[in-house]
Amino acid sequence: MSFVDHHSDPAKIVGSVDKDWWRGAVIYQIYPRSYQDSNCDGVGDLAGIIHRLPHVARLGVDAIWISPFFRSPMLDFGYDVSDYRDVDPMFGTLGDFDALIQRAHDLGLKVLIDLVLSHTSAEHPWFKESRVSKENPKQDWYVWADPKPDGTPPNNWLSIFGGSAWQWDGERMQYYLHNFLAQQPDLNFHCPAVQNELLDVARYWLDRGVDGFRLDTVNFYVHDAQLRDNPPLAPERRNANTAPEVNPYNFQDHLYDKTQPENLEFLRRLRAVMEEYPAITSVGEVGESQRGMQTQRDYTAGDDLLHMAYDFDFLSGVYPSGSRIKEVLERFDSIVTEGWACWAFSNHDVERHPSRWNMTEEARRLYAAVLMCMKGTICLYQGEELGLTEAYVSYEELQDPYGKQFWPKFKGRDGCRTPMPWVRDNAYGGFSDAKPWLPVAVEHLERAVSVQESTPESTLAFYCAMIAFRKTHRALAKGNLRIIEATDDILLLVRSLEGQEVLCAFNLSDGEQPLNLPAGDWRQDKGAPFDTDAGNAVLRPWQAYFAVRETASETTI
């Protein structure tokens, strides 16, 4: 499998390297703790990922995104980094990582890794040095502040994980900022030495062969240097995209603790580092409920910032009716005018979408087809291709500190992080020979890879077919989009590129719907895994119809 898309814009191909490969790609997210255990300790690892990469390649995706595997005390399961330049022994060694890169590239897969730059673990040597005194060489590498005269925190900023975002440190006799766990102190991006060191971290992994980064909490890097209080947020404006509804974090308008204008300059510096390498991409996670798309616009405008930003609209609990999809896609195009979208229905932080949206099997498949026809890059989360639902994890088995804080109204993120089921006839689903770190959901065993890979009608086969269909038509990956019709039950859109249009019609309901084709010389395309008969002029429940036609030439955006 070649890495080169020979139909890409020639101006963006340098030698045999397509710098534009990421635009319209399908990226498969791997949560390493739960993918495959190779050494029988109950936790997935890099060697396990290597063993299962052929499964990913057979899906037909373009790249993998691996959640953090760096050295860490694992209080937030790798998102609390204690050494940016090493693999945690739980996951293997740097040699294992190099082997993973090589194997993935041999299979035609790009590799993105999760970089957590906004904060470190309190166990990181930088923080241990910084907290010693106010005069040491790293004294300003973290966000330190004196208490108010009454001893309370410097301002009203809140942690996403609950409570104040400030933690008192008796050794230094100051508060330090933590937007997440108290054991995850925030780095001070106002310090030039911090920025320089983090840019060197990026170079370190680029030198090891990674093809890009998923940048965790990318808008949290820079804080307001004046430490001004956040204003309250009116109840009608509260949005649970960034934090669950039970979290008072939603009660503030986060004007000062994140999304500061100085962040853009650091992103330009990071992009310049990436441009030193042949074909690197970046996906920024923008945690911003009130101004999400505006921030995506700001962070992806032009060619010197992020390549794309990860959107949260379809990771929420709002059901994606045809009307909702139209509203989100058109709002994105009207706001993020220069940027490129990255869409997902599920990831490691949210309830799996079949459960979140209470979807039938037919609905799950149809919405997978809708996702594959959206304009943007697509992220799939491990197990999504099997149609996995959210697993139940009892409080006694819970690992996620977020869930423990807000149980039972918010049960945390463990239900979407349970081990991947590879075989049915094994209590642990072929994930491990030892008791896994999280329980394997019994209902997931019936959806194991071994069950589905030999069944032509399986959800797994459906995902493979839809990904292949997307690749067959470049307009679906890189073309423009216009919506012809959108109601709660119907979505009809057209993707167009370089003289070809692909019409995609979806019945998002459990009743028959009329198929109102726009005028034109449309020819039905039966390459997708649907058996719709256009002659009936109706779409059966949860069915799709695809057609193509030739038009005047149009270039990609």
**284/115 Cα distance (integer angstroms):** 10
Active-site residues, by number, are 216, 276
User: Where do we find the tokens 């028959």?
Assistant: 512
pLDDT of the residue at 551: 87
For residues 324, 555, 342 and 211, what is the CA-based torsion angle, rounded to 10 degrees? 170
Domain count, the chain: 2
| Domain assignment present for 522 | yes
| Domain assignment present for 142 | no
Task: Show the DSSP H helices in 361-510 as ranges.
Answer: 361-372, 401-406, 442-445, 449-452, 459-472, 474-478
Residue that is last in its domain, among 407, 434, 468: 468
Single-letter amino acid code for the residue at 19: K
* Residues forming a β-bridge with 344: 379
> pLDDT tens digits, residue range 425-437?
988 999 999 999 9
Q: Encoding tokens for residue 102?
A: 């090589």
Residue 10 has pLDDT above 50, yes or no: no
Does 527 lie in the same domain as 385? no
| Domain assignment present for 376 | yes
- Express as a percent the part of the chain with pLDDT over 70: 95
**48/27 Cα distance (integer angstroms):** 19
Cα–Cα separations (whole angstroms), residue 28 to 419, 452, 477: 16, 18, 15
Burial of 550 (0-12, 13-18, 19+ CB in 10 A): exposed
Please count the other Cβ atoms lying within 10 Å of the Cβ belonging to residue 118: 24
Does 391 lie in the same domain as 417? yes
Residue 3 has pLDDT above 60, yes or no: no
pLDDT class for 317, splitting at 50, 70, 90?
very high
Residue 519 has pLDDT above 50, yes or no: yes
- What is the domain extent for residue 533? 480-550
| Domain assignment present for 28 | yes
Mean pLDDT (whole number) for 110-125:
98
> pLDDT tens digits, residue range 50-93?
999 999 999 999 999 999 999 999 999 999 999 999 999 999 99
Q: Encoding tokens for residue 144?
A: 């330190």
Q: What angle do CA 189, 195, 196 make, to 5 degrees?
A: 160
Is residue 30 within 8 A of residue 44, CB to CB? The reply is no
pLDDT of the residue at 42: 98
Mean pLDDT of the chain: 94
Residue that is last in its domain, among 410, 433, 468: 468
Phi, psi dihedrals of residue 361, rounded to the nearest 5° = -60, -40
| Domain assignment present for 160 | no
Does 494 lie in the same domain as 451? no
Does 342 lie in the same domain as 249? yes
Q: Encoding tokens for residue 477?
A: 């990956």
Residue 4 has pLDDT above 60, yes or no: no
Q: Which of 393, 399, 450 is nearest to 420 (CA)?
A: 450
More confident residue, 366 or 3: 366
Phi, psi dihedrals of residue 249, rounded to the nearest 5° = -50, -35
> pLDDT tens digits, residue range 472-510?
999 999 999 999 999 999 999 999 999 999 999 999 999
How is the beta sheet containing 544-550 ordered, strand by strand? 480-486, 490-497, 500-507, 544-550, 523-524
Does 386 lie in the same domain as 309? yes
Does 340 lie in the same domain as 198? yes
Mean pLDDT (whole number) for 346-365:
97
pLDDT of the residue at 241: 64
SS3 sequence, 521-546?
A: CCEECCCCCCCCCHHHCEECCCCEEE
**CATH code of the domain covering residue 392:** 3.20.20.80
pLDDT of the residue at 266: 98
> pLDDT tens digits, residue range 280-307?
999 999 988 778 899 999 999 999 999 9
**CATH code of the domain covering residue 516:** 2.60.40.1180
Q: Which of 130, 182, 126 is nearest to 158 (CA)?
A: 182
Q: Which of 77, 80, 161, 171 is nearest to 120 (CA)?
A: 80
SS3 110: strand
**308/338 Cα distance (integer angstroms):** 10
| Domain assignment present for 148 | no
| Domain assignment present for 557 | no
Does 279 lie in the same domain as 259? yes
> pLDDT tens digits, residue range 368-427?
999 999 999 999 999 999 999 999 999 999 999 989 999 998 999 999 999 999 999 988
Does 458 lie in the same domain as 488? no
Task: Show the DSSP H helices in 351-414 as ranges.
Answer: 353-356, 361-372, 401-406
pLDDT of the residue at 427: 87
**294/90 Cα distance (integer angstroms):** 39
Residues in contact with 318: Cβ distance below 8 Å, sequence separation at least 6, in sequence order:
324
Residue that is last in its domain, among 422, 448, 468: 468
SS3 193: helix
pLDDT of the residue at 290: 77
| Domain assignment present for 245 | yes
pLDDT of the residue at 287: 82
> pLDDT tens digits, residue range 237-296?
887 666 778 889 999 999 999 999 999 999 999 999 999 999 999 999 998 877 889 999
Is residue 183 within 8 A of residue 75, CB to CB? The reply is yes
pLDDT of the residue at 237: 81
pLDDT class for 96, splitting at 50, 70, 90?
very high
H or E, element range at 263 = helix 263-274
**96/73 Cα distance (integer angstroms):** 20
Cα–Cα separations (whole angstroms), residue 143 to 165, 224, 228: 11, 10, 14
Residues in contact with 553: Cβ distance below 8 Å, sequence separation at least 6, in sequence order:
498, 499
Residue 8 has pLDDT above 70, yes or no: no
**293/309 Cα distance (integer angstroms):** 9
Q: ω into residue 231 within 30 of 0, thus cis?
A: no
Does 503 lie in the same domain as 445? no
pLDDT of the residue at 238: 80
Q: What angle do CA 130, 136, 142 make, to 5 degrees?
A: 30
pLDDT of the residue at 5: 38
Does 529 lie in the same domain as 427? no
Does 93 lie in the same domain as 230? yes
Displacement of CA 44 from its chain's centroid (Å): 19
The strand pair at 341-344 and 308-310 is best described as parallel
Does 486 lie in the same domain as 458? no
**551/480 Cα distance (integer angstroms):** 13
